[in-house]
Amino acid sequence: MKCFYAPETDLHDPVFRLTHGKILRNAEQAERAKLLKAGLDQLGLEAIEPAEASRDALAEVHTEDFLTFLETAWEEWQALPNAGPEVVPNVFAQRGFATYPASIVGRAGWHMGDTSAPIGEHTWTASRRAADCAVAAADAVLAGDRAAYALCRPAGHHSSADMAAGHCMMNNSAVAAARLRSQHDKVATLDIDVHHGNGTQAIFYERDDVMTISIHADPETYYPFFVGYAHETGAGAGTGFNTNYPLPRTTTDEAWLKTIADALEKIAAYQPGALMLSLGLDAHENDPLLGMQISWDGFRRAGEMIAAAGYPTVIVQEGGYLSEDLTTSLVSFMEGFMGRGT
């Protein structure tokens, strides 16, 4: 399996995070990539540096205003009096009645949905290269590979067409899905990150050519709180092509795997030409974000099930946070997917 990783993504190592009124160290640290890459090393998989994708590939899912903001925000922010080292919004647009502002402070509140995705000096470079990994993995599958993996940092599935949030910048998963659409009439996305893939849902919500399915901790008590409920099934042409499976935070292997099986049945009925898998590993029982109780064996079996579905598959890395178990979580899933499991 071809695996893509860009060392420049390590340059994004954010500091700021606001949790329950306290300023804490951000969870999306560069150390995550080292732990994930160690998993690839254990599997004997080479990490390939991707070529630079065209900006058009990003513009398939993101607005030009948003891309320009990501590219220029940090330098503009530094010109503010007493500017901090990272772009962190202190005001948010009420979009029901709002005008796009000229001020960088206002644009931060327009294009950033919360305070957990601060923009630093190298965030644009890192997020650009993360998207390059997603495009390269999609291109490998379009060229005939059965599957390919993109080790993306920062993650992407919480980012919509024009808003970053939840540790995410560009939506790498949506970029990969859109790339697959260039050769397939229909593409399915399956998100097994412990958080709802709200950005991916928003991007494709009114489309019937990209089915979106997310299996995640119930947003009644877990991020992103406002979206990810079962009644969200799409709109317009996309009606019936979005499915959410909110699960209790106490969920263990059997219930989780049964839900994946249900999702795969729905995907089979849709008959897509390819699958984009948003691989979050933060459902693991020892992940610090405490979303679910999935074991390594659960990840291995999930990998087996998704591979057995038989679709050309792009695997895009999403969450999975700092824990000594993160490496083994990736190894477990990949061993199952590649048929190396016991």
321-to-29, 156, 160, 330 alpha-carbon distances in Å: 8, 14, 22, 12
Catalytic residue among 12, 62, 111, 158: 158
216 DSSP β-pair partners: 246
Encoded amino acid at 22, one letter: K
Rounded distance between C-alpha atoms, residue 50 and residue 135, angstroms: 8
Closest C-alpha to 110, from 78, 87, 85, 80: 87
d(CA 133, CA 122): 17
The neighbouring-strand residues paired with 279 are: 317
Q: Determine whether 158 is an active site residue.
A: yes
Report which secondary-structure segment, H or E, holds 247.
strand 242-247
Half-sphere exposure of 216 (CA within 13 A, CB side): 34
Q: Can you tell me the distance from the alpha carbon of 57 to that of 37, in angstroms, rounded to the nearest whole number? A: 25
Active site residues: 158
